Amino acid sequence: MAIKQIIGVAEIPSSQLDEWGPVELPLSEQTSQLRGLVINENADGSEAGIWECTPGVWTRQIMDAEISSFVAGHARFHPEDGETIEIKAGDTLYFDDNSRGTWEVIETVRKAYLTYKR
């Protein structure tokens, strides 16, 4: 069994994360940029890692189930069905598979995440 520890996730300089480029479906003039670090990948496409996103509005593209713990920033998620979710550092969210909606990142957010197939 492999155990990986990332210390001080909120304090890692953005420059030490991998550049993942712009979001795929931006909805605002300000296009969010993604950075991250994949900690573990599985053959089925599920993965664990650290994700960072700069301000902007865009359509969610990940359709796997996901659990995320936010360690920095401020955002809102507007689900297709349901009320807007306000997200701040210290919050944990679970997205069921095929959760659709719009991200509105207000202040650069960072989270530790796990996506998985259901």
C-alpha pair distances (Å), 108 with each of 1, 2, 97: 34, 31, 24
Binning the chain into helix, strand and coil, the percentages to the nearest 5 are 5, 55, 40
Q: What is the pLDDT of residues 79-109, one digit of tens each?
A: 999 999 999 999 999 999 999 999 999 999 9
CATH number of 13-116: 2.60.120.10
Q: What is the pLDDT of residues 26-78, one digit of tens each?
A: 999 999 999 999 999 999 999 999 999 999 999 999 899 999 999 999 999 99
Q: Find where tokens 């095929």 sit.
A: 98
DSSP 13: -
